[in-house]
Structure 1
Amino acid sequence: MKKRYIIEDARKHLVEQINGIEGIEGTAMQENLVKNTKGLSAVIPKDNDGYCTVYKMDCADGLGLMTVYQVYPGIQLIYNDFEATGCEWEGALGQNILEINHCREGREGSKLLSGSCLYLGEGDMSIHTMDNCASEMAFPLKHYRGISVVINLELVSEYPPQTLAESGIDILEFKEKFCADGNCFIMRAKDEIEHIFSELYSVPDCLQKPYFKLKVQELLLFLCMVDVTKEKQREMYTSPQVEIVKEIHKKLISNLQERSTIEELSKEFLINTATLKATFKGIYGQPIGTYMKEYRMKQAAVLLRQTKSTIAEIANQVGYENQSKFSTAFRDVLKITPAEYRKQNASE
């Protein structure tokens, strides 16, 4: 059975919240969120003015936290922390709500209304209107940490931050610039993105309000200067391709003692080998062989910590008949021998 976060109305409510102006109206809306939100274990206001709210999600395989800061009227900055395979929500979202996502750790996937699927790797940034994505986000590595900046274009156009107003930038033009014809804009990891977002992951509490305001304005000014025609877009994958590759992934990790070749998988699942290799790497961030080697070693590390099985037995359980080859692979991935790793983690 597929495990995933269920955030049925959280994202819709976040959009509703972003439509509010700071102050009394925002506080009242926060109270409605607590009453109406489904699938959340807690909605925790961190202050009295509605500036910061933490949304806590429970599910079978872990927790998710979305920490939401109301930086300006119509602009939210959201810290996303997920340990799960995905999240979903209900209801249509606004066409004039722009979402900018930055992936710090893990991978994040979205399905567009066209049926195309796209994936962000570490350091990547995406921009899309919130009504253009289907009601599910995927976290293929079962771990995701990132930042979202959500912008109500009409509200920000009416109440622009000072720097934006002084620059003469028309925020409404961002939709046509980055999301024309239902597209989603992807910018691969680069120094400029790293500079803007990396500093947001370590801001002292006492400096958050002024610093968030500066960084959001810096981001908007940077986006104004971006020439979208010069940015090479990430490849997108069709929904059927993605579903087939997810089934292949499930088969690969369900029995680590079995070693299927790409050709065998291609024939069994009726998918072209080139498409299989490209789509797998697009979803999981690595070629199949590299991914499975690391997956096997991580599972071996768990067995070394939590069981008394011999190293030879563990090697066999993760698909290595030769203990020497297993030890070499383990050291390649974890930079330590299995015996040393077990000794270091003997207290667990």
Structure 2
Amino acid sequence: MTASTNPKFIMQYAVKEEAVTSLVKRMIFQAESGFGEMYLLEVYPGVQMWSIDFHLRELDIKPMGAYRCLKLNYCLSGRCEVPLPDERYVYVSSGLLSVDINPPVGKMMLPTGQYVGLEIVIDLDTISHGLPGAWTDCGIDIWEVRQCLSRTRGSYLANVAASWDQLAREMEEHIRDADLSVEVYRFRLLQLLWTLKAGRQRDISIQPFYLTLGQRAVVMRAEELLTRDLHQRYVISAAPFLIKGKGKENEETI
């Protein structure tokens, strides 16, 4: 494993680490709010894929040391809220792909208490010595992606095609099963990247998507009000951020 892509944030929670095969490592951990496991596979030097299965509410994910990574994080089920610099948050739910170069900061929140995902992590320092030849031959240019992200504060959220979802789910299973050779893992990763590139203008919608800390506070406050009493019926007033229940005494401004 290369140091900069190794998920050091998880080390403080790890209770067991084992080599499944010479390619795949499994980490089991226990946090205050729950438990989880990760399967880690290094496909090339500086290019890793992680199979993630979290059953918790929150996790401190602030990186340790220098951070220059490009991350593709695909949510298979559940939901996570990832804090970013400048008091922003990215929200990822089932079927969405987050593409990001920002370091996560603070605590990752899992509102449903569960998250399963496939993450591709590319160490930009390591691959600066040269991209895999197969990527270059297929026109996969990580530096072009890096440049595009720099113009949108480093964050994109993508709705992917059904074909890409199927490839991602198969890859996540193969990482857990550790049943492929490194050459086949590399081919399947190339399939994922090529399908994403080919579908960018056709059947994949990509757009910046993040909220500020203040916007998140408003959303969380609205959720708290709406779930406080499920027998109450609420409507949204024309006045900004005013939620009304039955009767004026139930009005609350957020």
TM-score range, shorter chain: 0.7 to 0.9
CA deviations on 1:261-318 (whole Å, 9 max, x unpaired) are 24237943x32xxxxxxxxxxxxxxxxxxxxxxxxxxxxxxxxxxxxxxxxxxxxxxx
Asked if the contact 1:95/1:129 (under 8 Å) is kept, the reply is no
Task: Tell me the distance in 1 between the aligned counterparts of 2:225 and 2:31.
Answer: 23
Give the aligned partner of residue 152 of structure 1.
123
In the alignment, structure 1 residue 195 sits paired with structure 2 residue 175: no
Aligned residues: 238
Q: Secondary structure at the match of 1:155?
A: helix
Structure 1 or 2: more helix by fraction = 1
1:121 CA drift (Å): 2.0
Q: Which has the higher contact order (CA 8 A, sep 6+)?
A: 2
Q: Does the residue aligned with 2:232 lie in a helix, a strand or coil?
A: coil
| Equivalent AA in structure 2 for residue 211 of structure 1 | V
Between 196-205 and 115-124, the greater mean CA deviation after superposition:
196-205
Q: Is residue 156–residue 206 contact of structure 2 (8 Å, CA) maintained in 1? A: no
Shift of 1:97: 0.8
2:163 is the alignment partner of 1:176: no
1:44 to 18, 41, 56: 18
Cα distance, 1:80 vs structure 2:
0.7
**Kept in 2: contact 1:179–1:185 (CA 8 A):** no
Q: Which of 34, 38, 45 pairs up with 1:66?
A: 38
SS across alignment from 1:146: strand
Deviation of the 1:189 alpha carbon? 3.6
1:223 and 1:138 map into 2 onto residues whose CA distance is: 27
- The answer as to whether partners of 2:157 and 2:209 remain within 8 angstroms in 1 is no
* Structure 1 segment 224-239 matched on structure 2, within 5 A: 224-225=197-198, 226-227=200-201, 231-233=205-207, 235-239=209-213
Matching residue of 1:138: 109
Deviation at 1:83?
0.9
Equivalent residue letter for 2:119: S
What are the residue-to-residue correspondences of 1:283-302 with 2, within 5 Å?
none
Instruction: Pick the aligned partner of 2:80 from 89, 94, 108.
Output: 108
**How far does the alpha carbon of each residue in 1:40-70 deviate from its partner, in whole angstroms, 9 at most, with x for none?**
22222334x4x22222221344311111111
Q: Give CA deviations for 1:230-258 in whole Å, capped at 9, x if unaligned.
A: 835265322123234334545655x6565
Q: TM-score, normalised by structure 1?
A: 0.58
Contact conserved, 2:35 with 2:54, CA < 8 A, in 1?
yes
Structure 1 residues 129 and 15 mapped into 2: Cα distance closer, same or farther (>3 Å)? farther
Segments ≥4 residues shifted beyond 6 Å: none
1:148-181 deviation digits (Å, cap 9, x = unpaired):
0000123224253331143354432221123435
Counterpart residue type for residue 85 of structure 1: R
Task: Show the counterpart of 1:77.
Answer: 49
Residue in 2 aligned with 1:125? 97
Residue pair 2:70, 2:123 contacting (<8 A) in 1 also: yes
**Against the structure 1 CA distance between its residues 153 and 82, is the aligned structure 2 distance closer, same or farther, given a 3 Å change threshold?**
same
3-state SS in 2 of match to 1:158: coil
Unaligned 5+ segments in structure 1 are: 1-13, 20-29, 272-348
Q: CA RMSD in A?
A: 3.2
Equivalent of 1:240, from 189, 199, 214? 214
- Taking the aligned partners of 2:222 and 2:139, their CA distance within structure 1 comes to 51
Q: 1:55, 1:180 → 2: CA distance?
A: 35
Is there any run of 5+ residues in structure 2 with no aligned partner, and where? 236-242
Distance 1:120 1:191, change over 3 A: same
CA-CA distance at 1:139 after TM superposition: 1.4
